[in-house]
Amino acid sequence: MRISILLLCSAVLIGCSEKPSSVEQQQSPAEPLRSPGKQEPLLTYEQQLEKDASRGDAEAQFNIGSIYYMGKEDNPMFSVARDDAKAFEWTQKAATQGSVGAQELLGMMYFSGRGTAKDETKAVEWMEKAASQGNKSAQLKLAIAYAQGLGVPKNVVKGSEWLQKSASQSNVVAQRFLAKAYLEGTGVTKDDTKAAEWAEKAAMQGDANSQAILAFLYALGKGVPKDEVRAYAWINLAAAQGKDNTPQERDELEKGLTSEQKAEGQKLSAELLTKIKKPSSSAK
């Protein structure tokens, strides 16, 4: 049975369209903030943030920088338009003060050239600062930078080390990439058992790509005992999420099953579904 495995590619991660994770759900209040006591001009949420940021508040600097990075174009609750220059200015101030979220965002801006000249070397420097503070998203981006030689000499071993750190913090995309690294022996010793373990961790978080990988492993008996019923259960779940080619792969696998095995696989799919976390948008 042929089941495709998603390849780690350059378009997946270090992109300028990603929103800062810690402010993605941030919303402006419906009404401006009124200063207590004497009657002062009313301030919008963004104006108050910028006022606090001007006083050196690193959290406010990161938040207002993130808002300018997204703007009302990305979030209609914001009252300001996207402004890359202001986003870079405030994010840089916060990052210099040690804000881990700002360090990651600043790295993203250097990678994409938003608000500043594109500079992959500086991007990696800031991304590594955030990754060293435990930011799992930055760890994943840094892993990809090393794997592809973006801003640093290509080093798949070092990339896999950062990938491991991110995956160990339940970053579903990192878990999927780590599974693939173990399957191919990229930056790590080839190990089908570990590949299956990491694929299952991601699959149980609802990642359709990892569910397809796990189906592939069960179908061939790589890293796990061969089990076509369990393979059918996992490919069912991947296909239900619209994963490319999985309906055809499911149908191909189904041809070799008895009606009893097919029913058992469908029952197992339903049982797994009750235990699986709802996938996040970033994992799709």
Across the chain, which has 284 residues, the per-10-residue mean pLDDT values are: 36 47 50 55 89 98 98 95 98 98 98 98 98 98 98 98 98 98 98 98 97 97 97 96 88 93 96 85 51
What lies within 8 Å, CB to CB, of 178 at 6+ separation is 160, 163, 164, 167, 198
| CA pair distance 61, 25, nearest whole angstrom | 17
Within the chain, where are the H helices?
45-54, 58-74, 84-96, 100-112, 120-132, 136-148, 156-167, 172-184, 192-203, 208-220, 228-240, 246-254, 259-275
What amino acid is encoded at 94 in this protein? A
Where do we find the tokens 């990651």? 104
| CA pair distance 281, 54, nearest whole angstrom | 34
CATH code linked to domain 176-277: 1.25.40.10
| CA pair distance 67, 83, nearest whole angstrom | 9
CA 48-54-57 angle, to 5 degrees, is 85
**Amino acid 43: pLDDT:** 82
Where do we find the tokens 């009124």? 34
C-alpha distances in angstroms, 40 versus 43, 47, 193, 256, 273?
Answer: 9, 13, 65, 75, 55
Q: What is the DSSP letter of 223?
A: S
**Amino acid 36: pLDDT:** 56
| CA pair distance 276, 205, nearest whole angstrom | 6
Q: What is the pTM of this model?
A: 0.84
- Tally the C-alpha atoms within 13 A of residue 264's C-alpha that lie toward its C-beta: 10
**Amino acid 12: pLDDT:** 38
Which residue, 80, 62, 77, 66, is CA-closest to 28? Answer: 77
**Amino acid 223: pLDDT:** 97
